Amino acid sequence: MSIDMKQFYAVFFEEVSEHLANMESLLLAINIESPSLDDLNAVFRAAHSIKGGAGIFAFDDMTEVTHILETLLDKLRKQETILTSEMIDAFLQAGDLLAELKEAHQEGGEVDPDKVKTLCKSLESLSAERAVSPESAENNSAAETVCREITFLTEEKEDISTLLRELAEFAELSCSCDIQDGYKKWCLTLAEASVSDDELIDCITFFAEPGSIVITGLEVKEEKKQEEDAFGLFAEENTHALIENDSFGIFDELPVNSNNDSDDLPAQPSLLLPKAAESAEQETQSYGFFSDEDKHIEKKPVPAGRLKSAVKSSRNGSESSSSIRVNTEKVDQLINQVGELVITQAMLTQISALLDPSEHEILLNRLTQLERNTRDLQESVMSIRMMPISFVFARFPRVVRDLSSKLHKKINLKMIGDETELDKGLVEKLADPLTHLIRNSIDHGIEMPEIRLAQGKEEIGTITLFAFYQGGNVVINVSDDGAGLNREKITAKAAERGLNISDSMTDNEVYQLIFSAGFSTAEKVTDVSGRGVGMDVVKRNIVEMGGQVEIHSDLGLGSTISIRLPLTLAILDGMSISVGDHIYIIPLTFICESLQPQTENIKTINGKGTVVKVRGEYIPLLALHQLFNIETQVHQPSDGILVLLESSNKKIALLVDQLVGQQQVVLKSLETNFHAVPCISGATIMGDGRVALILDAAGLISSME
Amino acid sequence: MQETKSEADTGHNFISEMTGTEESGYLTFTLGDEEYGIDILTVQEIRGYDSVTSIANMPEFIKGVINLRGIIVPIVDMRIKFNLGDVTYHEMTVVIILNIADRVVGMVVDGVSDVISLSREQIKEAPEFGAVVDTKYIKGLGVVDQRMLILIDIENLMSSKEMALVEQLA
C-alpha cells in the first residue's frame, strides 16, 4: 500500500517554517543577562518539534542539527550553562541552516554538508565550554536531596497515617499538627531524601485540601535552588506534553509549588492554568496565526509573576486555538460567491423599485432585510482575508540586528500597531518594500554611534515601524531619528544625473526625486544600499497595490516615510464616469479633482495636442473617446468634464462625458480568462450585472508620452 | 465527400490516438452553411448573448467581456472571425462557454444543433482544403447519417495567436 506522502511533507514544511519563525522572534527578544525560562522553553519546544518531524520523514541532517541545538538549549534551561550572545548568534545561524535544509528537501536542492558539520561543531563546542563545572551542577541538581518542610491542610477527620507511613519510607520524618477552623494543619519535616517534590505531592494530594500543599527547603540557600528546580520541572512537563501530544493527560499530575508564602498561594485551579496555557500555546504554534507575545511579558523567573503571565496567555491561547487553516482558494471562492450574492441582491432591489410600495409592503421590507444581511455577510467574509501586519513586521528585528552589527551601528527597532490588519495579499506584498525602507534607514538614516554622540543624540538610534488605520486606509510609517534627507545633496545629485530641478521646488518635490530610478546619494556603494535601485521599486510596488508613499524629513532629526494603503486589494473606491454609452471606473486614489473647463483655458499646441490651464498650470488633455474610439456627443472639452489624474508626479486631464457616481467596486482581473489590456487595470461588476472596466491611470498618463 | 491520403498532422495523429470503438461526444453547431463539432468536454455551458461590455482597440471579433456569475469572460464572435453567417445579435444568438486549460471563453455561433457520439470509424482525416478554418485546427471529419461535421481542435484554436485571446510571448 502506498500512501501519498506529499501532503504530509507539505504540512511538515509549513510547520517547520512556522517553528523557525517563532524561534527566531523569541531568540531576538531574549534578554541575554536574564533570559526568561518561558522563552528558552519555547525555543526548545520549537527545536524539538522540528526534530520530531524531521525524524519521522527521515531528514537526518535536520534531525542532527536540531538534536545538537536541543542539547545546548536543554542545558540552558536547566541552568547548567549561561546564555551568551555567541549562543544566540549560533542559534540564529542554526535556524537559517534549518531553513536552508528545509528548502533543500522541499525543492530537491542540496546544502553543503560541510556547512552542517561546521555549525554542529560550533554548537557542540559552545555546549561543552560553557558547561558549568560538574561540582556546581551537582549542587544545583542536589535540590532533590535536601531537607524539606511540607505543610498542608486536611479535613479534621482525615486519617493520614497511611501517608505518614509512606513518607517515612522515603526518609526520616517528624510530624506536628494544629487544628484550625475545622481543618488540620500538618507540618512535616522530611530529612534528606532522594525523592522529587512532585513525587511527594503525588502522595499527599490524596489527603490534602486542594491547593494547600507547600514544600519548603529548610535553609535559605536551598530555597532558591528549589525554586529553580521547580522551574525545571515545569519545563519537563511541557516537553512531556509535547511528546505525548496529549496535553490533557498531564492534568492529573499536580504541579509542584515551591512557594514559601502560603498566603500568596494561588488556588489549585489556577495552578493548572500554566499547563493549559502551554498546551494551548502549542496549538497556537502549529496554527501559527498568533505570535505568543505574552511570553515576553515576564522576563524574571518569579513564580507569582509567572503564573500571572501564564494565565494571560491561556486566555490568548483559548482564543487562538479555535482558528483553522484554510486554503486561500477556498476563501477567494467564498468572496467571489458573496460578491455575486451582493450583485443579485442589488438587481432585486432595482426591480423592486418598480413595484408599488403600498401593494408590496411586506416584500419590500424583506428585501431591505436581505440587503442588510448580505452586507453583513460580505463584511464578515472580507474580514477572513485580513491578517495582522505583524506577519511582515516579525522579520525586521532580525534584519535590524544583522545589518546594524554589520555596519557597527547601534539601533533599536520599535514596532507599534503590529496588530493592524489588512488584506493577506497586501501583507505579503509589503515585505519587500518595507525591508528596503528599513535597510535604507539603517544605512543612510542612522549615523555611526560616535557621530550621534557628537551631535548630542543618544548613542543608540531608533527606527520605528508604526501601523495604524486612517479612514479606509492603513498607514505604515517607517521613521528613524537619523540624519534626515539632505536637500542640497539630493538636488546636487539630481542635477548631476540631468534631472529637471529648480530652486523653487518644494521640499516634498525634492524628496520625491529619491524615488526616481537609479537615484542614490550614498557616497559609496555598499552591499547594503547605494546602488540606487530600491526607492523607485518601493514606490512602484506601493503604487501597484493602489497605495501612496510620502516623505517627511527634518535635517539632522530624522525622516519618516509613510505608506498609505487601501485596506484590501479586492475592493477599491472608484468614480464611475461615462463616455458615450460606456461606463468606466477610475480609482479614486488617482483623481485630484474634476472640473468643467472654460473654453478660453483650453489651448491647442501645434502637433503636441491640447492642454488645459488649471490655476496657472498647463496640463495635457486626453480625450477618452478618442483613445478608445467611442462614439459620443461630447467632443469639445467645454461640453464634458475633465478629470485630473495624477501618478508619479505627472498629471493629465481626462475628458469624459460625465461623472456618474462614486462607489466601492470589487476588483476582478481581466487576465484570468483574457489578457492584459492597455490602459485598463481590471474589471468590476456593476449593480445591474454588467461588467465595467477600470481605467489604469498610470497607463493613461504614460500613454501621453 | 472528399477523402485524401494527406498527412494532415493533427488529423492523422488524432485518429491514431483513438483506440478501439470508443466513442466520444461532440457538441455540434453551425456557422454559415457548415456544421462543426467540438469535444463536449470542453463545453461548460450554453447561454444567450447578453450585455457584453466592449473593450477598446481590440480586433473586431473580440466582442468584449461578460459577467458569468462573478467571472469576467471574454466573448469572441466566430461569425466575424471566419466571415460566415449574418452578424446580428438578437434573443436567439447563442454563446458557447468553453472551459479550456483553466480559462473560460465564450464564442458566438449561428446556432447549436445537438450532441452526438462518434466512434473511431466515423471520423475521417481532414482534407487539406475545404473549410474556412485553417486545417491545422481541424481534427478530422465526422460522418453521421449523411451529415458531415468538421471537428475542430478547439483547444488549439482558442489558444492560437490569431484568436488573440491569450497573451502571446513577444
Could you report the per-residue pLDDT of A622-634, keeping only the tens digit for each? 888 888 888 888 8
Domain A6-132 listed as CATH 3.40.50.2300: no
Yes or no, beta carbons of B56 and A630 under 8 Å apart: yes
Q: Looking at the predicted structure, is the pLDDT value of residue B2 above 70?
A: no
Supply the pLDDT for residue A313. Answer: 42
What is the CATH number for B37?
2.40.50.180
Closest Cβ–Cβ partner in B70, B103, B167 for A685 = B70
Closest Cβ–Cβ partner in A676, A678, A683 for B167 = A676
| Residue of chain A nearest B73, judged by CA positions | A673
Place A180 in a pLDDT band, splitting at 50, 70 and 90.
low
Supply the pLDDT for residue A272. Answer: 40
Yes or no, beta carbons of B74 and A337 under 8 Å apart: no
Output the CA angle B44-B47-B49, nearest 5 degrees.
130
Closest Cβ–Cβ partner in B51, B57, B166 for A689 = B51
Q: Does A674 touch chain B (CB under 8 A)?
A: yes
When pLDDT is averaged across residues B94-99 and rounded to a whole number, the result is 92
In angstroms, rounded to a whole number, what is the distance separating the alpha carbons of residues B31 and B112?
9
Chain B closest-CA separation from residue A676 CA (Å): 8
Alpha carbons within 13 angstroms on the beta-carbon side of residue A334 total: 15
In angstroms, rounded to a whole number, what is the distance separating the alpha carbons of residues B151 and B157?
12
Supply the pLDDT for residue A692. Answer: 92
Encode pLDDT of A296-350 as tens digits: 433 444 444 343 444 444 444 444 457 788 887 888 888 878 877 877 887 788 7
| Residue of chain A nearest B98, judged by CA positions | A673
Chain A closest-CA separation from residue B87 CA (Å): 20
Residues of chain B positioned with their CB less than 8 A from the CB of A673: 71-74, 103-105
Yes or no, beta carbons of B57 and A629 under 8 Å apart: yes
- For A355-375, what is the HEC assignment? CCCCCCHHHHHHHHHHHHHHH
Yes or no, beta carbons of B56 and A683 under 8 Å apart: no
From residue A51, give the alpha-carbon distance in Å to each of A98, A242, A372.
Answer: 10, 12, 51
Mean pLDDT lowest among A564-573, A596-605, A692-701: A564-573
**Which position has the grid cell 501559527?**
A288
SS3 A689: coil
| Residue of chain A nearest B99, judged by CA positions | A673
Place B45 in a pLDDT band, splitting at 50, 70 and 90.
very high
Closest Cβ–Cβ partner in A337, A675, A689 for B67 = A689
SS3 A219: coil
Chain B closest-CA separation from residue A588 CA (Å): 22
Closest Cβ–Cβ partner in B56, B70, B167 for A340 = B70
Yes or no, beta carbons of B66 and A691 under 8 Å apart: yes
Supply the pLDDT for residue B127. Answer: 72
Output the CA angle A254-A255-A261, nearest 5 degrees.
115
Spell out the residues 6+ positions from residue A46 whose beta carbon is closer than 8 angstroms to its own.
A19, A20, A22, A23, A26, A285
Domain A571-703 listed as CATH 2.70.70.10: no
Q: Which of B138, B114, B129 is closest to B25 using CA atoms?
A: B114
**For the stretch B4-40, what's the b/e string if a residue is b when 16 or more beta carbons lie within 10 angstroms of its beta carbon?**
eeeebebbeebeeebeeeeebebbbbbbeebbbbbbe
What letter represents residue A133's amino acid? S
Q: Does B13 touch chain A (CB under 8 A)?
A: no
In angstroms, rounded to a whole number, what is the distance separating the alpha carbons of residues A661 and A585?
9
Q: Does A627 touch chain B (CB under 8 A)?
A: yes
Yes or no, beta carbons of A675 and B72 under 8 Å apart: no
When pLDDT is averaged across residues B36-40 and rounded to a whole number, the result is 90
Yes or no, beta carbons of A339 and B57 under 8 Å apart: no
Yes or no, beta carbons of A691 and B55 under 8 Å apart: no
Place B119 in a pLDDT band, splitting at 50, 70 and 90.
confident
Q: What is the DSSP string of chain B?
A: --------HHHHHHHHH--TT--EEEEEEEETTEEEEEEGGGEEEEEE---PBP-TT--TTEEEEEEETTEEEEEEEHHHHTT-S-----TT-EEEEEEETTEEEEEEESEEEEEEEE-GGGEEPPPSSSSSS-GGGEEEEEEETTEEEEEE-HHHHHTSGGGT-SPPP-
* In-domain check, residue B3: no
* In-domain check, residue B105: yes
Question: Do residues B86 and B55 touch, judged by C-beta distance below 8 A?
Answer: no
Beta pairing, strands A691-695 & B43-48: unpaired
Chain A closest-CA separation from residue B22 CA (Å): 32
Yes or no, beta carbons of B72 and A340 under 8 Å apart: no
Chain B closest-CA separation from residue A583 CA (Å): 9
Supply the pLDDT for residue A241. Answer: 40
Q: Which residue has the higher pLDDT, A280 or A692?
A: A692
Domain ranges of chain A: 6-132, 140-320, 328-385, 388-566, 571-703
Q: Looking at the predicted structure, is the pLDDT value of residue A251 above 60?
A: no
Yes or no, beta carbons of B69 and A673 under 8 Å apart: no
| Residue of chain B nearest A344, judged by CA positions | B69
Average pLDDT in chain A: 73
* In-domain check, residue B1: no
Q: Which residue has the higher pLDDT, A554 or A229?
A: A554
| Residue of chain B nearest A340, judged by CA positions | B70
Yes or no, beta carbons of B55 and A693 under 8 Å apart: yes
Q: Which of A4-13, A650-659, B7-16 has the highest mean pLDDT?
A: A650-659
Place A442 in a pLDDT band, splitting at 50, 70 and 90.
confident
Question: Do residues A258 and A301 touch, judged by C-beta distance below 8 A?
Answer: no
Encode pLDDT of A520-577 as tens digits: 655 555 555 544 456 777 888 888 787 888 888 888 888 899 888 877 666 777 899 9
Yes or no, beta carbons of B67 and A670 under 8 Å apart: no
In angstroms, rounded to a whole number, what is the distance separating the alpha carbons of residues A258 and A149?
11
Q: Looking at the predicted structure, is the pLDDT value of residue A274 above 70?
A: no
In angstroms, rounded to a whole number, what is the distance separating the alpha carbons of residues A233 and A227?
10
Supply the pLDDT for residue A520. Answer: 63
Q: Number of CB pairs < 8 Å for A and B?
A: 68
Backbone angles phi, psi at B122, to 5 degrees: -80, -5
Mutate to test the interface with B, among A332, A342, A691 (most CBs of B within 10 A): A691
Q: Looking at the predicted structure, is the pLDDT value of residue A355 above 80?
A: yes
Residues of chain A positioned with their CB less than 8 A from the CB of B104: 673
Mean pLDDT lowest among A265-274, A402-411, A639-648: A265-274
Yes or no, beta carbons of A678 and B57 under 8 Å apart: yes
CATH topology of domain A388-566: Heat Shock Protein 90 (3.30.565)
Beta pairing, strands A582-587 & A691-695: parallel
Yes or no, beta carbons of A628 and B67 under 8 Å apart: no
When pLDDT is averaged across residues B103-108 and rounded to a whole number, the result is 91
Q: What residues 561-620 of chain A have any CB closer than 8 A to a CB of chain B?
A: 582
* In-domain check, residue B33: yes
Output the CA angle B63-B66-B70, nearest 5 degrees.
160
Residues of chain A positioned with their CB less than 8 A from the CB of B65: 670, 674, 683, 691, 693
Quick one: which H or E segment has residue A186? Answer: strand A183-190
Mean pLDDT lowest among A397-411, A565-579, B90-104: A565-579
Q: Looking at the predicted structure, is the pLDDT value of residue A209 above 90?
A: no
* In-domain check, residue B94: yes
Supply the pLDDT for residue A254. Answer: 44
Distance, first Cα to last Cα, chain A: 65
* In-domain check, residue B70: yes
Q: What residues 298-337 of chain A have any CB closer than 8 A to a CB of chain B?
A: 336-337
Question: Do residues A438 and A480 touch, judged by C-beta distance below 8 A?
Answer: no
Q: What residues 33-72 of chain B have any CB closer than 8 A to a CB of chain A?
A: 51, 53-58, 64-67, 69-72
Closest Cβ–Cβ partner in A340, A672, A677 for B55 = A677
* In-domain check, residue B168: no
Yes or no, beta carbons of A677 and B167 under 8 Å apart: no
Closest Cβ–Cβ partner in A336, A630, A683 for B65 = A683
Chain B closest-CA separation from residue A681 CA (Å): 12
In angstroms, rounded to a whole number, what is the distance separating the alpha carbons of residues B28 and B151?
9
Q: Looking at the predicted structure, is the pLDDT value of residue A653 above 70?
A: yes
Spell out the residues 6+ positions from residue B89 whose beta carbon is closer than 8 angstroms to its own.
B49
Domain limits for position B69: 9-154
Q: Does B75 touch chain A (CB under 8 A)?
A: no
Mutate to test the interface with A, among B42, B51, B65, B160 (most CBs of A within 10 A): B65
Yes or no, beta carbons of B56 and A336 under 8 Å apart: no
In angstroms, rounded to a whole number, what is the distance separating the alpha carbons of residues A634 and A641?
9
Yes or no, beta carbons of A670 and B166 under 8 Å apart: no
Yes or no, beta carbons of B67 and A690 under 8 Å apart: yes
* In-domain check, residue B4: no
> What ipTM describes this predicted complex?
0.79
Sheet containing A609-614: which strands, arranged edge to edge?
A591-595, A641-647, A650-656, A617-623, A609-614, A602-605
Specify the number of domains making up chain B.
1
In angstroms, rounded to a whole number, what is the distance separating the alpha carbons of residues A277 and A317?
6
| Residue of chain A nearest B106, judged by CA positions | A673
Q: Looking at the predicted structure, is the pLDDT value of residue A55 above 80?
A: no
Chain B closest-CA separation from residue A240 CA (Å): 49
When pLDDT is averaged across residues A588-598 and rounded to a whole number, the result is 87
In angstroms, rounded to a whole number, what is the distance separating the alpha carbons of residues B13 and A307?
75
